[in-house]
Structure 1
């Protein structure tokens, strides 16, 4: 997953419309600085980017726990976390689980607190084990829908984001 993100994000970038400013391997200058890198962004080592992706966007939000239950979903949540932040990715998961609980008949609504904890994992486990073979793909589609809607909203609210909308949507298209 990390290799795919790095390949997609490419090397160094400093697009004038990107509020993130300078990036390398998809890591913004601000994130790099928060995690100890003080050098020129053009020179951020790939290994340091991999370490940041692993610690901040995979392990800290507990996507490894999601991957044990739903690997494709965890990969998508990772991608969203990298692009929008882990809290938003987890919030999408929690909102989708709540919307798919059949009015609370399957499991009670969980707090959309943007944290993967025992209640989120229990709801995920119940959903996957009780909704059949397509459960993970249905949940993945719900999360993708929330992601797409957010991208459209970002482009509508800030016209400069239109420069990125096609790319945001293009690499998420599933066959």
Structure 2
């Protein structure tokens, strides 16, 4: 991967892209997350010690929250050492759906792609990145070579897309967001 391509998957670049995509303060009536600023919900901001009005959440505070809660805490930094594009997708999915959900997508895809445990053992879909998930990822990448990261990325995005559609089907109010989710979350970073 070239330096330019690698910098595209740098955590600071990923955080800036999410903040740019999410934009400043929004309080959409159909958004179950309530008021958000830079994509940070009020509940998350408060849990991280922010006490001011959501409209005034500083961009750098949002960036710090993203790094701590959506990059380091779930272990996406450890995924980035092995597969930067997968880490970028997990980060973006984690921001939008929760880090545990993103990690579950990775684990499910790894299990489905291990050729009935011939390439590496199935792992628990515990929605947490630990040694077994990292070992399975290493084995997958070693077995599948250069194209493996692309295929794994597509599998994760397929699971994400299915979840968006199912959510819109279950809760028609979420149809207001479906087009944007599919346009801006699938096939990105």
The question of a shared fold, defined as TM-score above 0.5 by the shorter chain, is answered with: yes
Q: Match of 2:22? A: 9
SS in 1 for 2:50: coil
Q: Distance in 2 between matches of 1:160 and 1:17?
A: 6
What's the counterpart of residue 95 of structure 1? 108
- The residue number in structure 2 matching 1:166 is 179
Corresponding residue for residue 131 of structure 2 = 118
Q: Within 5 Å, which residues of 2 pair with 1:44-83? A: 44-83=57-96
Count of aligned positions: 175
User: Structure 2 regions of 5+ residues with no counterpart?
Assistant: 1-13
1:114-153 counterparts in 2 under 5 A? 114-153=127-166
Distance 2:106 2:70 in 1: 15
Encode CA deviations 1:124-163: one digit per residue, 9 max, x unaligned: 0010011121000000000000000000011000000000
Distance 1:92 1:157 in 2: 20
Query: What is the TM-score of this pair, normalised by structure 1?
Result: 0.98
Q: Which residue of 1 aligns with 2:51?
A: 38
What is the RMSD of the two structures over their aligned residues, measured on CA atoms?
Answer: 0.9
State the secondary structure of the residue aligned to 2:146.
coil
| Runs of 4+ more than 2 Å apart | 172-175
Aligned to 2:7: none
Offset at residue 173 of structure 1 (A): 4.3
| 8 Å contact kept, 2:157–2:186 | no
Residues in 2 aligned to 1:15 and 1:31: alpha-carbon distance in whole angstroms: 17
Match of 2:36 in 1: 23
Residue 167 of structure 1, CA deviation: 0.3
